[in-house]
Amino acid sequence: MATIYKNPKLDHPAAAPSPDGQGYTTYQEPDTRVPPKPLPLFRAIAVDGVPVPEDEILREAQNHPADNPGKALRAAAEALVIRQLLLGEATRRGLAGEGERDEKGRATSADDVAIHALLEAELDVPRAGAEECRRYYENNRQRFMSEPLFEARHILIAAPESDDEKRVEAHRKAQGLCNALASDPSAFAALAALHSACPSGSQGGNLGQLSPGSTVPEFEKALEGMAAGEIAPGPVASRFGYHVIALDRVVPARELPFELVEDRIAAWLEAQSWSRASAQYIAILAGKADISGIEIGAADSPLVQ
């Protein structure tokens, strides 16, 4: 019988009969000897032809905390693009630097020195005057308050949160101390020395002056709800155990005088001006540069304010 048509694919080595003899298959087992190359996390990024390597972006991401890894990587990529914009401009202007160390002995790279020299030359930020500082102070008095201070003592009955049995026993013991102190407050120092698991027990439980943030939140909240001279009627729970608390004195927050904060205000205002000027300058550089792989805001104006 004459062969009218022969499918060339049937001669291909891969077109072997299937094991059950029901037809042909082109399936081949994957070669697992060489692992597949991982795909890049994002498109290649470059500034005027200078690449921003992915591994540098991954390292930089740890300096940009964010809600998710994608945002951290985006912030890291933007930071490195901006750095390359500034470094490229510094190089074009012949502002090459040399590595140095600051007064604390920390190393500064030659690139950082060159970028600093560029910004010093391009950004003219005037010093905030006394009148401007005074106006800011008058409009923001609530910002210039001293922190309240609490002079307190405590007795800690230690019990880890992971041990329910110890927590129950610690609460019972701490409540017994509160009850005893309600009838004899003068016994606080002796009871602290005898029962407290805190080193302050040897000083009668004295914690000195406490400012907001210097203690665990539960302890701080309890202090805020107490009056000076009061011993809490019940123990206060924290991750360390239960605290019997005595609040001896409260130094309330007070408004700070202008003379005390004038230099701080001037520094803030100058920092704000510098941030605005640097952002505009970077936007102008971005507008003139060839940036691929990522979009950076650019400014059309050739002027830096």
Are residues 221 and 279 located together in one domain of the fold? no
The pLDDT, as a whole number, for residue 302 is: 39
185 and 234 part of one domain: yes
120 and 60: one domain?
A: yes
Statement to judge: residues 46 and 133 lie in one domain: yes
Chosen domain end from 251, 270, 286: 251
Tens-digit pLDDT string for the chain (305 aa):
444 445 454 454 544 455 555 555 566 666 666 666 555 566 789 999 999 999 999 999 999 998 888 899 999 999 999 999 999 999 999 987 676 666 666 667 888 889 999 999 999 888 899 999 999 999 999 999 999 999 999 999 999 999 999 999 999 999 999 999 999 999 999 999 999 999 999 999 999 999 999 999 999 999 999 999 999 999 999 999 999 999 999 999 999 999 999 999 999 999 999 999 999 999 999 999 999 998 876 444 433 33
Compute the distance between CA of residue 210 and CA of residue 255 in angstroms, rounded to an integer. 19
Nearby residues of 79 by Cβ (< 8 Å), 6 or more positions away: 60, 63, 64
Find all residues with CB under 8 Å of 48, minimum gap 6, and list them.
Answer: 88, 289, 290, 291
Clarify whether residues 76 and 217 are in a common domain.
no
The total number of structural domains that make up the chain: 2
Answer yes or no: is 227 within a domain.
Answer: yes
Q: Evaluate whether residue 36 is within a structural domain.
A: no
250/211 Cα distance (integer angstroms): 10
Instruction: Domain of residue 169: give its range.
Output: 149-251
Residue 94, domain member (yes or no): yes
Q: How far is CA 299 from the centre of its chain?
A: 29
User: pTM of the prediction?
Assistant: 0.56
Pair 81, 49 in one domain? yes
Answer positive or negative: Cα dihedral of 94, 99, 102, 108: positive
